[in-house]
Amino acid sequence: MGVLASDLADAQTGVVSVLPDADTFVRSMAPTDNFGGAGALSVSGSAAVNGSGQPNGLFDTLIRFPMSNVVAALDSTLGAGNWLVIKSRLIVNEIAMPDNDIFNQGVGAFEIFWLASDAWIEGTGTPKGPTSDGVTWNDLPGTVNPNLDVSLGVFTNSGVDGEISFTLALADPLVAGIRRGADVNLHLTAARPEVGFTFNSRNFGNTNDQPVLEVTAVVNPEPRIGAIIASGGQVSISFQAVSNWIYRLQAAQALTPVGPGDWIDLLVVPAQPTSTNVLYQDAATNQTRFYRLSVSP
């Protein structure tokens, strides 16, 4: 629970890893049982079988990562709120051939979702002693919301023992949750019927082999328009673009309330290997106009 390790020596970059404070798998062939106390998690499709060649049905996994310590670590090193998330990875330790026949085996695709719901309960059940004190397969319809949950990517397990990582898409709700220190809930589900992916849970004895969410952030380059000069029927807008970032210059008319849909792109500067000065010339009109500059990795 909390920050496992951090690498914040570089004043411009912070990498923080956090352990889950809740995780569990749920199983279609035991729809009312909870397995939140198990030492492993699993994602399985309908065609996967265990080491004895027997099918065990579908498995989904839920994992919750607390972000408050991540925010504190990045704030202290990069400046309070003055950082941007540029990468997030889920790192787990795969078990290719689990010694418990409840788990299926097989290499295949699965999907990771950012889960909008934070209401699920981990529970204390195990494969040998399932309980009903936490989330179960029957609870999934009330936990998963296709209208709110967001895909962070489709991945494939390796089918061999050892560490494996998955770089998650930086979807808006994921990044927003990290930045405000909210819990990040992940839902792992089969994307192909042959997948039988099992990996250590937070209840596994060695913390080095437990699931980790790794967050990489950098100091905000603080995009600023350097000058706006109107002359000769043109408006000249200049700014400094820091290397390795994408800059977007936008404009909106002031005659109507300015909302997200009122901004239009004037110029998109792709990431450059070095810092560069940018000059854009816009046609002058007799209307008031707003300009803004944003940056993204």
CA 245/CA 219 separation, integer angstroms? 12
Closest alpha carbon to 62 in 100, 115, 109, 18: 115
Q: Could you give the 3-state DSSP secondary structure of residue 121?
A: coil
For the chain, give the percent of residues with pLDDT over 90. 72
As given in the structure block, the two tokens for residue 288 are 């008031």
Q: In terms of DSSP H, where are the helices of 204-285?
A: none
Q: Could you give the 3-state DSSP secondary structure of residue 172?
A: helix
CA 217/CA 74 separation, integer angstroms? 8
pLDDT of residue 10: 45
Render pLDDT for 203-230 as a digit per residue (tens, 0 to 9): 998 888 999 999 999 888 888 899 999 8
Residues 6+ apart with CB under 8 A from 260: none
Residues 6+ apart with CB under 8 A from 125: 33, 34, 35, 36, 37, 38, 131, 132, 133, 134
pTM of the model: 0.80
pLDDT of residue 261: 67
Give residue 259's pLDDT band: very low, low, confident or very high (50, 70, 90).
low
Closest alpha carbon to 10 in 230, 271, 256, 216: 216
pLDDT of residue 249: 94
Residues 6+ apart with CB under 8 A from 118: 64, 182, 183, 185
Task: Kindly state the average pLDDT of the residues 64-75.
Answer: 94
Give residue 41's pLDDT band: very low, low, confident or very high (50, 70, 90).
very high
Q: Which domains does the chain have, with CATH numbers?
A: 2-219 (no CATH), 225-296 (2.60.40)
pLDDT of residue 257: 55
Task: Kindly state the average pLDDT of the residues 55-67.
Answer: 97
Give residue 190's pLDDT band: very low, low, confident or very high (50, 70, 90).
very high
Query: CA distances (Å), 47 to each of 51, 53, 79, 106, 154, in order?
Result: 13, 11, 50, 9, 18
Q: Over 60: is that where the pLDDT of 9 sits?
A: no
